[in-house]
Structure 1
Amino acid sequence: MRPVRALGASLVIGVMALASACGGSGDSGKDKGKTSGAGPVVVQAANGSVTIPATPQHIVSLSPTHTETLFAIGAGKQVTAVDDMSNYPADAPRSKLSGFKPNAEAIIATKPDLVVLSDDMDGIVDALAKVKIPVLLEPAATKLDQVYDEIQDLGKATGHTAEATKLTEQMRTGIQQTVASASKATSGHKLSYYHELDNQLHTVTSKTFIGQVYGLFGLENIADTADKASGGYPQLSQEYLLRRDPNMIFLADTKCCGQSAVSVGKRPGWSDLTAVKKQNTVALDDDIASRWGPRLPEFVKSIAAAVQKASAAK
C-alpha cells in the first residue's frame, strides 16, 4: 500500500497501527506457545473461506508484517521460509522468495502447508490454490480493528489462538494508554505534522492507515489539502511544504534514503521551518512506521513522545 517504497507488504507505507510493548520483543523463534488443535480449521480471509486441514508446520510468509506476527504469537518454529523483505526478527528464515514478484514454482518447491501474504500479485493466490496449498490473503490494514482481526486469523490458522488474543489485547491496551497519557500533556494544543515517505516529498494523508494513527493524537496533517488524485499518498512540492510550515516532521525514510534531522535542516529553506527550528524533526524506523503488525505500539510511542515535546515547547 505504499506507492513509493514497498512498505512491508503494501505501500501504504505502512499504513499505521500499533505494536510496542507486545510485539517488539517477538519470541524470535523461541516459541513458548503450543500449536493447539490438529485441524481442520476454517479462516475467513480476504480470499474467502480458507480451510487448513491440519496445524501447519511448513509455513511460508511473503509479507514482512505477517512474518513479524507469526513470530510474535509463537508460531516461529512453524515458519520454514519468509520473503526477501522480511528482516524481523533477525532469525526468521529469510529466502529469495518475493512477495512483490511471487514465483509460484519457487514457492511450491519449499513444500509449504500454508502460505501467508498481503498482496495477490500476478495471480499467485489462484496459482497456489490449483495445487491445493492453503493460502491466507491478509492485506494491508486500513483501520486498527483490521490489524487485530488479521493477527487473530493467523493465530487461528497456526494453532496459536490464545497467544494471538493476548497479543492483540496488549496492543490495544498499550496504544490506549500511550494516547491517553499524551492527550493529558497536549490538551489545548493544535499541532500540525508532515510524515515523509522518501526524500522526494511523498507523504500520507489522514485517510491512510498511517494517517489514522496520527489522528489518534488529534494532529493536523498538512498534506490533506494537497491530495488531489493520489489516493492518500501525494507528492508535495517544496513550496507547498514550506508554506504550510508544520510543527512536527516525521521521517520514515531514515533507512531507505538516509534522511535525518541534520540532512533535513540542510535542505533549501527548511532551516526556517518551525519543526526544524524547535528541533521537532523525528527520525522513525522505516519498517516500524510502515508495518501494521505487532510493533505498531512502538510507532505510537514515537508519535506520543514527539507530540509531548512539541506541545511543551509551543
Structure 2
Amino acid sequence: MKRVMKFRKIFIGLLLVTIFLAGCAVGGRTSYDKDYFAKITDDLNREVVIDNKPQRIVSLAPSHTETLFALKAGNRIVGVTEYADYPQEANKLDKIGTIKEPNVEKIIKLQPDLVLAAGITPKEVITRLSELGIDVIGLNPKNVSEIIESISLIGKVTGQVKKANTITSEMKNRLEDITETVDEHIKDNQRPKVFYEIWRDPLYTAGPKTFIDDLIHLAGGINIAHQAEGMWPQYSFEVLLFENPDVYIASQHSWKHQVSKESILQRKRFQQIKAIKNKRVYIIDQDIVNRASPRIITALEKIAKAVHPKLFN
C-alpha cells in the first residue's frame, strides 16, 4: 500500500511538472508568434505593435530607403519620397511626394502594412494613416549614436535583425576606431576650428543638434557654429573672419549651389581665412552627412581625414 501511495505521489508530481512546463512553452510561443510580430516605442514616444512581418513598406525619408536596402528589405518597399536616389534601385520605385509633403492618397493606394516616417513628417499624416490601421513608425535620430539605434529598430520591425546586427556592429567598430584615435592623440585645446558651408550667398552653415555638428566633434574638430542659434543658421561673414577656421568644408545642395575646392580658394574676400591660406578646403557629398543611414560613418571618416589628415591618412 505504501508503495502504491508513493508511486501515486511521484506520478502526480511528474504530471504537474509536465503541465507547468507545457504551459510555459505554449505561453512563450503565443506571446511572440500569435500576439504580435514586434512591439517597439518609436522616437515620437508612441508604442507600436506590429502583428505580422511587413511585406509592403512605404519610406517617407531617403535615409529610411537607404537603410531598408542595406538591410536586404528593399524588395518590400512599394513607395518612396522624391529625392530617394540611393541605391539606384530606389529611383524605380513609386514616388509619394516629398519628405515634407507626402501625398496621403498615394500612400493609401499602395496599401502598405508599414510606413516609416521621419522627424519632419507632418503629424496629421501620421495620425490619418494610423487611424486607417496602417502601422506607422516615427524615427528622428539626432546624432550618430541614435542613427545606429534607428537602424537596429528598423531591423527589428522588418524582421531583419541579423542583418541589422551585422551593419550596426561594423558601424560601431568604425566609430570607435575614430573616437579612440582622437581621444588618444588630440587634446581639447588642439582641436582645429572647422566651418561647414551649406550655402554661399547668403552664407549658411550647420549649427547645433545637426548630424554635421556631431560629425565634426567626433572627428576631433570644433564646429565654430556650435553655439549659433538654430540648426541651420545664416552666418555672418564678419564672424567667419573673426573665428578664422583652420578647416573649410562645403557641399553642394542643389544645382544652384555649385562649389569646388578651386572656386572657394579663389574667393577674394576669403583670402584672409587660415583654411584658405593653407588650402585646407574639402568638398563632401551632402547626402552622406545629412541622411540617417549606414553611410553616416563614411561621412565621419571623410571629415576625420579632412580635420586630421596625418592621423587618418
* TM-score category (smaller protein): 0.7 to 0.9
Q: Is the 8 A contact 1:251 1:282 kept in 2?
A: yes
> Paired residue for 1:60, among 43, 58, 83?
58
Q: Is the 8 A contact 2:139 2:150 kept in 1?
A: yes
Using the alignment, how far apart are the partners of 2:58 and 2:222 within structure 1?
40
Shift of 1:67: 0.7
> Paired residue for 2:216, among 214, 235, 242?
214
How high is the sequence identity, in percent, across the aligned residues?
Answer: 29
Q: How does 1:88-167 map to 2 (within 5 A)?
A: 88-92=86-90, 93-98=92-97, 99-118=99-118, 119-121=120-122, 123-139=124-140, 141-167=141-167
TM-score (norm 1): 0.80
Q: How does 1:1-314 map to 2 (within 5 A)?
A: 40-47=37-44, 48-92=46-90, 93-98=92-97, 99-118=99-118, 119-121=120-122, 123-139=124-140, 141-181=141-181, 186=186, 189-199=190-200, 200-225=202-227, 227=228, 230-253=229-252, 255-256=254-255, 257-309=257-309
Could you say which residue in structure 1 is the equivalent of 2:6?
A: none
The 1:81–1:297 alpha-carbon spacing in structure 2 relative to 1, beyond 3 Å, is same
Q: Is the 8 A contact 1:41 1:157 kept in 2?
A: yes
**1:296 corresponds to which letter in structure 2?**
I
The 1:82–1:59 alpha-carbon spacing in structure 2 relative to 1, beyond 3 Å, is same
- Unpaired runs of 5+ residues, structure 2, are 1-32
Q: Is the 8 A contact 1:84 1:94 kept in 2?
A: no
The 1:311–1:265 alpha-carbon spacing in structure 2 relative to 1, beyond 3 Å, is farther
Using the alignment, how far apart are the partners of 1:46 and 1:308 within structure 2?
34
Count residues in correspondence.
273
Shift of 1:207: 4.1
Aligned with 1:127: secondary structure?
A: helix
The 1:175–1:302 alpha-carbon spacing in structure 2 relative to 1, beyond 3 Å, is same
Residues 202-238 of structure 1: per-residue CA shift (max 9 Å, x gap): 112344332122112332222235x2xx323221121
Q: Which structure dedicates a bigger proportion of its chain to helix?
A: 2
**2:50 corresponds to which letter in structure 1?**
I
Question: What's the C-alpha RMSD, in Å, of the aligned pairs?
Answer: 2.4
Shift of 1:272: 2.8
Using the alignment, how far apart are the partners of 1:120 and 1:201 within structure 2?
27
Residues 268-304 of structure 1: per-residue CA shift (max 9 Å, x gap): 3112321112121110001001112100111111111
Aligned with 1:194: secondary structure?
A: strand
Q: Is the 8 A contact 2:116 2:137 kept in 1?
A: yes
- Unpaired runs of 5+ residues, structure 1, are 1-36
